[in-house]
A and B are shown apart, each in its own frame.
Chain A
């Protein structure tokens, strides 16, 4: 079952991108909510009509997928699933389990194909639901703050932990980052 999909506005590709002068392309979604449904997120480039039946092939603009292992809903008392917006000094506890997560996927082949054909790219994410404890999540489950498209040149080495996405050896005009804001629904409230 497909929930509401996300499609970015057209993102203009730079000359370097259009020459496909990159070795690796990464797409990052920031502050992705995982408090609700569990689903598979399928990413398509320049195919805003993509849905759960669309073949996951380069011809259809398929770029990558990732999974969300969700919490379903809140099973505690009021406030149990509210993620603190700031931490007090000396608070040694681990992050709240529902702290929004970072997602990074490799989209090199799909972006290279798009870059050689067009001047813009739209990013469509099709959430295919595995399970949802709240009916509202069946319709709308994919929430995140913004996304970043990162390119690596053949000179920019990918080293270090996966969470460190800063380019280590940026090369002018060959290493670019694009960001688009997709406002998450503010503060998912507990659903009882």
Chain B
């Protein structure tokens, strides 16, 4: 059985992107617990399973488990798919911000781009919510640069590294969601962030940074007291079970080649 190599969305071919979009479209059309809307609800509203600053050391492990659960459902639809990562430090993102794969509202055939938005359908909130996600990203100059990321990777303490990345992560959530008039972008607020399809690619980048850090500092360089803790919402996963991505069946392209377009 081959291992998944999660790739940069910027390096997807047209065919790969079409397959990814077909997978997201199919997942968004499912209303039961295999569908996008239910798994998005694990993070904030209505389930609130995620860990952020109330239990900071769980930030990396829980989101790794969450990403895995999402990707498994995506692969139930098409086993060739994986979640792409959005490298917000890339030259392209520093220039245009959100990659066009996610920002284009419509596809060439006139259909809706499933990576641009998704339906939020939550009946248990006050009031109930049923609407498409919205996104109002900021100026690309507001995104972190590669040097910002590289400087964090030298931090050998797991907790300090986690806090540095989590702060960067918080800022990108705010930057990507933004606000227009009185309407906040969904990525910018914890309850709704995961309903925006770009959430999973943002967190794929975050997970990749933990992966890179593990390559430098080791997969066992984590407080032992964390290892037996379960990942809320995923009864088959604990922290110990997610520290080694090869045991989860994926890794990130470490020798990825970006071919520059000189046309």
A interface residues with partner B (beta carbon < 8 Å): 1, 34, 38-40, 66-72, 75-77, 94-99, 101-102, 104, 129-133, 135, 160-163, 192
Contact of A101 among B53, B169, B171, B174 (CB under 8 A): B53
Q: Is B242 located at the chain interface by the 8 A CB criterion? A: no
Chain B: minimal CB distance from A87 (Å): 13
Say whether A161 contacts B189, CB under 8 Å: no
A34-B53, A131-B174, A162-B160 in contact; A70/B179 too (CB < 8 A)? no
Write the chain B residue with the least CB distance to A83.
B54
- Give the CA-CA distance A38 to B126 in the complex, in Å: 21
Q: Least Cβ distance of B112 to chain A in Å?
A: 23
In whole Å, how far is B40's beta carbon from the nearest beta carbon of chain A? 14
Contact B159 A69 (CB under 8 A): no
Please indicate which of the listed interface residues B56, B57, B171, B182 has the most CB atoms of chain A within 10 Å of its own CB: B171
In-complex Cβ contact of A130 among B44, B52, B177 (8 A): B177
B182: chain A residues at CB < 8 Å are 135
B157–A161 touching, CB < 8 Å: yes
CA distance A130 to B193 in the complex (A): 13
Task: Give the contacting residue for A38; candidates B57, B159, B189; CB below 8 A.
Answer: B189
Residues of B bordering A, CB below 8 Å: 44-46, 48, 50-57, 125-126, 129, 138, 157, 159-160, 162-163, 167-171, 173-175, 177-179, 182, 184-185, 188-193, 223, 232
A40, B159: Cβ atoms closer than 8 Å: no
Chain B residue with the shortest CB-CB distance to A98 = B54
Q: State whether B126 touches A133 (Cβ < 8 A).
A: no
Instruction: Knowing A67-B170, A67-B171, A69-B52 are in contact, say whether A130-B138 is a contact too (CB < 8 A).
Output: yes
In whole Å, how far is A150's beta carbon from the nearest beta carbon of chain B? 15
Contact in complex: A97, B159 (CB < 8 Å): no
Closest chain A residue to B229, Cβ basis: A94
29 contacts between A and B (CB under 8 A): A34-B53, A38-B173, A38-B188, A38-B189, A40-B174, A67-B167, A67-B168, A67-B174, A68-B174, A69-B189, A69-B190, A70-B188, A72-B191, A75-B46, A75-B125, A95-B55, A97-B54, A98-B54, A101-B54, A102-B53, A130-B188, A131-B174, A131-B178, A131-B188, A132-B184, A135-B182, A162-B159, A162-B163, A192-B126
User: What residues of A have a CB within 8 angstroms of the CB of B52 in the complex?
Assistant: 34, 69, 97
- Please indicate the chain B residues that have their CB under 8 angstroms from the CB of A1 in the complex: 179
- Tell me the nearest residue of chain A to B174, going by C-beta: A130
Most B CB atoms within 10 A — which of A72, A95, A129, A160? Answer: A72
CA distance A77 to B125 in the complex (A): 8
- Among B174, B193, B223, the residue within 8 A (CB) of A39 is B174
How far apart are the CA atoms of A141 and B89 in the complex, in Å?
29
Q: Which residue of A lies closest to B189 (CB)?
A: A72
Chain A residues whose CB sits within 8 angstroms of the CB of B53 once the complex forms: 34, 99, 101-102
The complex places the Cα of A130 from the Cα of B232 at a distance, in Å, of: 28
Contact A69 B173 (CB under 8 A): yes
A77 and B46 alpha carbons, distance in the complex (Å): 12
Q: How far is the CA of A67 from the CA of B189 in the complex (A)?
A: 12
* Complex Cα–Cα for A39 and B170 (A): 9
CB closest chain-B residue, reference A192: B126
A161 to B46, CA, bound (A): 32
- Asked whether B157 lies within 8 Å of A131 as measured between CB atoms, the reply is no
Which residues from A are CB-within-8-Å of B138? 130
Contact assessment for A161 and B188 in the assembled complex, using a CB-CB cutoff below 8 Å: no
A67-B171, A94-B51, A130-B178 as given contacts; A72 in contact with B184, CB under 8 Å: yes
Across-interface contacts of B167 in A (CB, < 8 A): 66-67
The docked-state distance in angstroms from the alpha carbon of A90 to that of B174 is 37
A132, B182: Cα distance in complex, Å: 8
Q: Give A105's nearest chain B residue, CB to CB.
A: B167
The residue on B at minimum CB distance from A159 is B157
Min Cβ gap A84→B in Å is 12
**Known pairs A68-B170, A130-B188 / 15 extra A-B pairs, C-beta < 8 Å:** A38-B177, A38-B188, A68-B174, A69-B170, A71-B189, A72-B192, A75-B126, A76-B126, A94-B55, A102-B53, A129-B179, A131-B174, A131-B178, A133-B184, A163-B56
Cα A153 to Cα B52 in complex, Å, equals: 31
| Most-contacted residue by chain A among B44, B50, B173 (CB, 10 A) | B173
Known: A38-B173, A101-B53. A75 touches B179 (CB 8 A): no
